[in-house]
Amino acid sequence: MTTRRGKNLGSFTVEAEIGRGGMGVVILARQQNLERPAVLKKIRSDLTEFPELAERFEREARTAAAIHHQNVVAVYDRFSWRGDHYIAQEFVDGVDLSTALTRIGGSLPWRIAALISLEVIRGLEEIHSYGTVHRDLKPANILLGRRGEVKIGDFGLALDATGSSLTQPGVMIGSPPYMPPEQMLGQRVDARCDLFSFGVVLYEMLAGRLPFPEPKDDETDSLLARMQRQRYERVRRRAPATPRFLASLVKVCLRAKPARRAASASALRRRLEERLGRPSSADVRAELTSWLWERGVFELKENETVLRVIEPRLEDERSLRWVPGALACGAVVATLLLVDIGPSPPEPLAIYPAAALAAPDAPDAKGEDSCPPGMIPDPDALPAQTGPDDTNDTRASDSAEAESDPTCIPG
Give 337-380 as a DSSP string.
HHHHSSPPPPPPPP---HHHHS-TTSPP---GGGSPTTEEE-GG
130-139, 183-192, 312-321: the lowest-pLDDT one: 312-321
Can you tell me the distance from the alpha carbon of 380 to that of 397, in angstroms, rounded to the nearest whole number? 16
Contact 380, 410 (CB under 8 A): no
Catalytic residue chosen out of the listed positions 77, 96, 136, 390: 136
pLDDT at residue number 56: 73
Can you tell me the distance from the alpha carbon of 118 to that of 268, in angstroms, rounded to the nearest whole number? 8
Can you tell me the distance from the alpha carbon of 130 to that of 348, in angstroms, rounded to the nearest whole number? 84
**Residue-wise DSSP of 202-239:** HHHHHHSS-SSPPPPTT--S-HHHHHHHT----HHHH-
Question: Is 136 one of the annotated active-site residues of the chain?
Answer: yes
Q: Give 15's DSSP letter.
A: E
Could you tell me which of 93, 85, 254, 120 has the C-alpha nearest to residue 177?
Answer: 254
Average pLDDT, the chain: 77
Contact 133, 161 (CB under 8 A): yes
Task: List, in order of start, the domains of the chain with CATH numbers.
Answer: 1-91 (3.30.200.20), 93-320 (1.10.510.10), 363-382+405-411 (no CATH)
Burial class of residue 272, CB neighbours in 10 A (0-12, 13-18, 19+) = buried
**Residue-wise DSSP of 131-147:** TEE----SGGGEEEETT
**Predicted confidence (pLDDT) per residue in 71-102, tens digit:** 999 989 888 888 788 889 999 999 999 999 99
Q: Is the pTM for the entire model greater than 0.85?
A: no
**Predicted confidence (pLDDT) per residue in 15-65, tens digit:** 998 887 667 788 999 999 899 999 998 877 776 677 777 777 777 778 788
